[in-house]
Amino acid sequence: MPIHERLESVYAEVLARNPGETEFHQAVREVLESIGPAVGKHPQYADAKIVSRICEPERQIIFRVPWEDDSGEIHINRGFRMEFNSALGPYKGGLRFHPSVYLGIIKFLGFEQVFKNALTGLPIGGGKGGSDFDPKGKSDREIMRFCQSFMTELHRHIGEYTDVPAGDTGVGSREIGYLFGQYKRITNRYESGVLTGKGLIYGGARVRTEATGYGTAFFVNEMLAARGDSFAGKTVVVSGSGNVAIYAIEKVHQLGGRVVACSDSSGYVVDEKGIDVKLLREVKENRRERISVYADLAKHARYVKGQQVWEVPCDIAMPCATQNEITGKEAEQLIRNGCKVVAEGANMPTTPEAVRLFQEAGVAFGPGKAANAGGVATSALEMQQNASRDSWSFEYTEDRLEDIMRDIHTRCIETAEEYGMPGNYVAGANIAAYTRVADAMLALGLI
Ligand code: GLU
């Protein structure tokens, strides 16, 4: 899709200002392409340099993270926190520890987070952070020392009313525990609301662990219902086998679908009986092993090394691994195999070409900033519980999550219709989120 003529110079400026940050360029381009109709109808959405302001992070923090491994060797990683936009609330978004992390990845994730968080309708701005630290193969004590060093710098930038990090790839409840412990020591404050994704015993919320995966499955359920369909009898393929994938699989099964395959970066497993979530959790969460171990333990499953999980035929595809994992090639294969619905559990797992192919083929496509917003939405519910020193039941919290996902779905559908693009979730999500952020910024003066 071409960029609206009033926004062309904004995109050129983003390219010039952020050289080499291709993932960020991709995320910005998608939003700029989508919001053309809103700018055409309501010119104030491109006045007062509002688009340029939204594309420029409010604050970018980059810092050194020195740490010592178990043999006494010293390592230096780079830490980031991208405080992107606080018009709607404190910066909110996860931390990613992965060797692929660099400024462009954190900037793209922070940018996406601004819109995702706006779509939830909850009072949270957008931010993201992380490090190029590779947790793979590290001992528990090395992870702890790294987290402590990371927080020793990060603590001065965050706070309940300022910036509230959580987890993302490579950062789960173990890491959040070490980060929270260090924050508490340094500041001498038991500030529960400074991090989300905490353990239940020290201020965490029920359903937060499951929320991103559950939310994505709820979103697909809404997409199916909008087409007069349901999960019953559907074959589903999920990529990844981390936190998002595990709980997406669990909820798909509860809703009547059958997930026959999931993956990691080395290959995938097929289990025609339906992936056994208990076993998957044992392999990934307890043993911290590769997915091939699942096939060693489940006799009816098979492991396929070095191939893409998208070659497994399915009705519904849920990419829950990482950015740009479905390119044009994989999209063509999915379409050929009869896939009818795709929803992103990960952030930006589908390339622009693949999105275009899905849309042209009539495949319903749910973008991550809508489909995977359940994680951060439940983080906002955790913040609510921390602020009121309360603790909600699993059922109540899950009901709230389901309502939020239903509202996001409705918002996307109604906005897409309003702008003459029925069924286009990408346009609906981007326009609904952008106008909310822009309205808040315009109301707050020149910020
Ligand atoms: N990392 C998650 C995301 O991409 C959740 C962030 C949060 O809970 O703050 O939305």
CA of 211 from ligand 1 middle (Å) equals 10
Give 1's pLDDT tier (boundaries 50, 70, 90): confident
Please report the atom of ligand 1 found closest to the CA of residue 197. 8
Please report the atom of ligand 1 found closest to the CA of residue 124. 9
pLDDT for 32 equals: 97
Take atom 9 of ligand 1 and give the residue whose Cα is closest. Answer: 93
Instruction: Give the mutation target among 88, 92, 105, 113 for probing the ligand 1 site: most ligand atoms within 8 A of CB.
Output: 113
Instruction: Give the mutation target among 128, 168, 347 for probing the ligand 1 site: most ligand atoms within 8 A of CB.
Output: 168
Q: Taking residues 367-390, what's their average pLDDT?
A: 98
Please report the atom of ligand 1 found closest to the CA of residue 117. 10
Query: Distance between CA 97 and CA 329 in Å, rounded?
Result: 28
Instruction: Say yes or no to pLDDT of 108 above 90.
Output: yes
CA of 108 from ligand 1 middle (Å) equals 13
Please report the atom of ligand 1 found closest to the CA of residue 164. 9
pLDDT for 428 equals: 98
Query: Distance between CA 188 and CA 196 in Å, rounded?
Result: 18
* Closest C-alpha to 150, from 172, 177, 130, 170: 130
107 is catalytic: no
Which residues are within 8 A (CB) of 356 and not within 5 positions of it... i.e. 6 or more apart?
none
Please report the atom of ligand 1 found closest to the CA of residue 95. 1
Give 284's pLDDT tier (boundaries 50, 70, 90): very high
Structure tokens at 375: 């994680």
Take atom 10 of ligand 1 and give the residue whose Cα is closest. Answer: 376
Instruction: Give the mutation target among 376, 383, 386 for probing the ligand 1 site: most ligand atoms within 8 A of CB.
Output: 376
Please report the atom of ligand 1 found closest to the CA of residue 116. 10
Take atom 8 of ligand 1 and give the residue whose Cα is closest. Answer: 376
Q: Taking residues 287-294, what's their average pLDDT?
A: 96
Task: State pLDDT tens for residues 37-75.
Answer: 999 999 999 999 999 999 999 999 999 999 999 999 999
pLDDT for 299 equals: 85
CA of 110 from ligand 1 middle (Å) equals 10
pLDDT for 398 equals: 98
pLDDT for 190 equals: 97
CA of 272 from ligand 1 middle (Å) equals 31
Asked whether the domain spanning 57-190 has the same topology as the one spanning 1-56+423-447, the reply is no
Take atom 5 of ligand 1 and give the residue whose Cα is closest. Answer: 376
Query: Distance between CA 138 and CA 38 in Å, rounded?
Result: 48
- Describe the strand order of the beta sheet including 302-305 as a list of residue ranges: 302-305, 267-270, 258-264, 235-239, 316-319, 341-343, 364-366
Q: Taking residues 255-273, what's their average pLDDT?
A: 98
Task: State pLDDT tens for residues 293-333.
Answer: 999 999 899 999 999 999 999 999 999 999 999 999 999 99
Task: State pLDDT tens for residues 408-429.
Answer: 999 999 999 999 999 999 999 9
CA of 220 from ligand 1 middle (Å) equals 19
Q: For a pLDDT cut of 90, what percent of the chain falls above it?
A: 99
CA of 74 from ligand 1 middle (Å) equals 30
Averaged pLDDT of the chain: 97
Please report the atom of ligand 1 found closest to the CA of residue 165. 9
3-class secondary structure per residue, the chain: CCCCHHHHHHHHHHHHHCCCCHHHHHHHHHHHHHCHHHHHHCHHHHCCCHHHHHHCCCEEEEEEEEEECCCCCEEEEEEEEEEEECCCCCEEEEEEECCCCCHHHHHHHHHHHHHHHHHCCCCCCEEEEEECCCCCCCCHHHHHHHHHHHHHHHHHHCECCCEEEEECCCCCHHHHHHHHHHHHHHHCCCCHHHCCCCCHHHCCCCCHHHHHHHHHHHHHHHHHHHCCCCCCCCEEEEECCCHHHHHHHHHHHHCCCEEEEEEECCEEEECCCCCCHHHHHHHHHHCCCCCHHHHHHCCCCEEEECCCHHHCCCCEEEECCCCCCECHHHHHHHHHCCCCEEECCCCCCECHHHHHHHHHCCCEEECHHHHCCHHHHHHHHHHHHHHCCCCCCHHHHHHHHHHHHHHHHHHHHHHHHHCCCCCCHHHHHHHHHHHHHHHHHHHCCCC
Fold exhibited by the domain 1-56+423-447: Glutamate Dehydrogenase; Chain A, domain 3 (1.10.285)
Q: Taking residues 378-393, what's their average pLDDT?
A: 98
- In the CATH scheme, what is the homologous superfamily, with its name and number, of domain 211-366? NAD(P)-binding Rossmann-like Domain (3.40.50.720)
Extents of the domains making up the chain: 1-56+423-447, 57-190, 211-366
Q: Taking residues 153-173, what's their average pLDDT?
A: 98
How far apart are the two ends of the chain, measured CA to CA in Å?
30
Instruction: Give the mutation target among 158, 320, 379 for probing the ligand 1 site: most ligand atoms within 8 A of CB.
Output: 379
pLDDT for 372 equals: 98
77 conformational bin, left if phi > 0, alpha if psi -120 to 50, beta if neither: beta
CA of 126 from ligand 1 middle (Å) equals 10
Are the C-beta atoms of residues 436 and 52 closer than 8 Å to each other? no
Residues in the ligand 1 pocket, defined by CB under 6 Å: 92-94, 116, 166, 168, 196, 347, 375-376, 379
Largest CA distance in the chain: 63
CATH 3.40.718.10 is right for the domain spanning 57-190: no
Structure tokens at 379: 């983080």
| Catalytic entry in 116, 128, 251, 340 | 128
Q: For a pLDDT cut of 70, what percent of the chain falls above it?
A: 100
CA of 167 from ligand 1 middle (Å) equals 6
Q: Which residue has the tokens 């793979």?
A: 136
